[in-house]
Amino acid sequence: MPNLNLLPTLRVLLETRNVSRAAEVLHLSQPSISKQLGQLRREFGDPLLVREGQRWLLTPRAEGLAAELDGSLGALERLYAAPTFEPADCRRVFRFASSDYVAQHIFPQICVALAEQAPHATIDYQLWEKGQLPRLWELDLDLVSTITDEVPDQICGRQQGSDHLAVLMGAHHPLAGSSLTLEDYLAWPHLQVSGGGDKESPVELVLASLGRSRRWFARVPFFQAAVEVLLRTDCLLTIPAHIAWLLAERHPLAFTALPFDTRSQRYHLLWHRRHQQDPAHRWLRELVWPILSGHLQQGVEQSRRVLGNPC
């Protein structure tokens, strides 16, 4: 099998036509270059360089090699070169998945940043379902922002932060402005947003341990639909506190703390490890993460002020 490691030496020998000068250029000893020239002669079955007095002359085979070598070595160098990425030149289609809440309240900010830095790129938003995480390897997705307690093997990620659950209701609700008891919480019908990450199992675990359960009135796929239901009914909606705070800021809604403790909701930005070393993907996640994390942290801080828990 040809020794491709000899090709850089061959190129310098053909350019300099001098063993001593080639040794200087390559920072090697003259005996080392002479030894490599001998190997090259055997591999090509040709003397390549022939001494004529004080000069070295190229054989016809060497002249032919010189004409082709630059292109061949250039192709090899490009093959081994580390990939680079320039956002301004990017025309890639990125695919991102999360909840409809992120689509409505955070994704527009991501789009602004993307348009400023990579105006020729495209981003495709898909709604995420919590059961998809073990199958991320086979999904055509670059990034996922979701709630999860465990990150599967082969999945890379970065935690955005955490939050606790709160209870959201219409401002007209009899419980608005009150601290809830367990009996209060269970006495009213409940609403569920089925899309996005797992927002229900922490509550279900606590209630199951108490031998209690909620009465479900409706399940809807989107947060905006849930808001409209809350405005028109006496339902309760249990969701992360930072979301409850923002929705209450923008609609005639109120939120309060759950009457029992649950485990925190941990938010992650996730991707399959096959994307880990991709420069374009690295750029995208470094663009997206601070926007997602910043939104979460702001909402967590504001909701804690409302709930009287500044820590």
pLDDT in tens, 184-207: 999 999 999 987 656 678 899 999
Contacts of 14 (CB under 8 A, 6+ apart): 48, 58, 62, 65, 66, 69
H-run or E-run covering 162: strand 155-163
Contacts of 281 (CB under 8 A, 6+ apart): 142, 271, 275
Residue range 81-124, pLDDT digits in tens: 677 889 999 999 999 999 999 999 999 999 999 999 999 999 99
H-run or E-run covering 122: strand 122-127
Pairing of strands 143-147, 55-58: unpaired
Residue range 128-159, pLDDT digits in tens: 987 888 888 888 999 999 998 888 888 999 99
- The answer, yes or no, to whether residue 310 has pLDDT greater than 50, is no
What are the backbone angles phi and psi of residue 192, rounded to the nearest 5°? -130, 135
Q: Does residue 292 contact residue 106 with C-beta atoms inside 8 Å?
A: yes
- Whole-prediction pTM value? 0.77
pLDDT band for position 64 (50/70/90)? confident
pLDDT band for position 169 (50/70/90)? very high
- β-bridge partners, 52: 55
- The answer, yes or no, to whether residue 59 has pLDDT greater than 60, is yes
Using a 10 angstrom Cβ sphere, with 0-12 exposed, 13-18 middle and 19 or more buried, the burial of residue 304 is middle
